[in-house]
Structure 1
Amino acid sequence: MHTVAVLALDDVIPFDLATPIEVFSWARLPDGRAAYEVKVCGPALSVSAGVFALQPPYGLEALAAADTIVLPGCRDLDRPIPAPVVDALREAAAQGTRIASICVGAFVFAATGLLDGHRATTHWYAADLLAERHPAIEVDPNVLYVDNGQFLTSAGAAAGLDLCLYVVRRDYGSAVAADAARTAVMPLEREGGQAQFIVHDQPPTPRGSELEPLLRWMEEHCARDLSLDAIATQAGMSTRTLNRRFREQTGTTPLQWLLRTRIRRAQALLEATSQPVDRIAGRVGFGSPTAFRERFKRVVGTNPHAYRAAFRRSERVPHQVERAG
């Protein structure tokens, strides 16, 4: 039987810890036997998990005997990883053990140096920090998970479910993984990547900046066919001066800023209305629905229809869930 060791460190995030425990425990072979033996281990007899504490039944020796090690995230990203944990993970990796991280568990993983030279992901909110602290890692904030063969990383929270189901499929095939996904009430594969969940804010503009009136005007008129010349005329500048000021004060170009504004407006319409996608494309300033779809997918990571399916605000009153018994 395949053994999975889930490492519980102090300040572990309960959701990250529970995800691999549940998914791998749900997985069943066609004859009904359990596909995995799951062991929760830790470097201490008691581990804090925020609002509660737990007692891992296994110590770090369980890492050496595991086929797969899962590293949940910890809330305090500044907390040093204990040296015995780093050593145990490195020794396991040297033996060929598969290691996977969930969410900001990538910071635990990165502390071992095992991800250096590899592509990895983590929660989009912490991706820049991971890249800053560990420049030898190629951090991709747009995907749900990354498989480097022996080493795997996943994005935030629910992406841990995607990763665990992917591992089940890799180990036992689609039928076993699909059965585990049904038990978890999860799709076996989700369309798009982490980018669809990222809040794409515009670069900040200093309050009182000379561009503030122009930016408001561009937002109000983003549905118009605004050329660089038209924007420069509104600003009372040459196109060269406009580009330079934009770069200095927003970090981007006028047309890139405009495109991002249009996509944000489109996201709001997809979430709040039932208007056809082609009509939304025109309302936010795209002359071609095809160009809109291509740009939307490039920025958001999924197509407009899939985004609407995931984020559409329902006006129906949700059903009350009654507890049995």
Structure 2
Amino acid sequence: MLDTAENPVINARRDLVTELLGVWLVLAVFLDGWAHLNLPSLETFFTPWHAALYSGMVATALWTAAVAWRNRKPGQPLTRALPPGYSGTVAGVVLFAVAGGLDMLWHELLGIEVTLDALVSPTHLLLGFSLFLILGTAVRSARAAGRARNFEWTPAALFAVVLMTGLGAFFLIYCSAFLRPGPTALFTPVPVGTPGRLEAEMPVVIALTSYLLTTALIIAPFLFTLSAARRPARWIVTMLVAAAAWLPVAMIGFRPTAVAGAAGATAAAILADVLLARLPSVWLDRRLPAVTAGIAALVWTGQLVAFAVADGIRWPVSLWLGAVVLSAAAAAGLALLSSWGTAGGTRYAEPLG
């Protein structure tokens, strides 16, 4: 009988528990973000929202210690008993503790951030990086156990990618295409040289940039999951779009227009997954830029259709159609970069040690 260190069933369950604890952490992050948006009077580090986050981290630390203890062989130091992929988890826990202490000092000395500065505060970014290390546990574990050309994503590893995408959506929430009014906002073109032109165009510039960044947030993890597998994971586009859309939409309070856009994009993502399941493998190997461009075009077209039904499109056709084309081009560019230099057009990655 295989021991714990070699039993794939036990390892899969272990990784799944780790990622379920990651759900606790990610939801606590968004809950804290909701508090900062809706309770601007927060003046202390010691809040229920921080308690939810830090208690989740304590639970994660205790679970990681239990994993190391159960994996330990007689006479082996506990520091060398970690399963593959869990060294990064320990590093994330330790880094989170350090960043948490620094964050407490930051808040006590400089006060509580209540606007955009909360997302780019150095201590918050350090906390975010430590969370990425923890959430990536199942990915590192699965790739360490995989083999080139027959690698399969475990449910826990896919879950990890989705959670990391959700966390990325949190830190990029200020430029999320799922929260910006975008094409539903009135735009009146102002001729060059006319006073007020910059003010009129700036919301559109921000919205177009949001489409590009949000496209990258969805397509980059899609390409990552595809890099070591023969086929896309089932429903991967839907899961990524849901993480990038619904967590931020919930954080800001389910505003009707944002909900409509997220619903339309999610419906389009489901269609994209259905089409991907029927797509010939040659398209994934040699025409991947066209595939990712199609995914981006579908997702944002779905959002625009939902906007049109729920609120109306107020951008001129050149702008909203250009936003779709520009996003599709960015998605194709990411796919092209991801396969640059691969021999024979293949996408298979060597397993990580």
On whether the aligned pair clears a TM of 0.5, the verdict is: no
Which structure has greater strand proportion? 1
Which of the pair has the greater relative contact order for Cα pairs under 8 Å at 6+ separation?
2
Normalised TM-score (structure 2): 0.32
Computing the radius of gyration from Cα coordinates, the structure with the larger value is 1
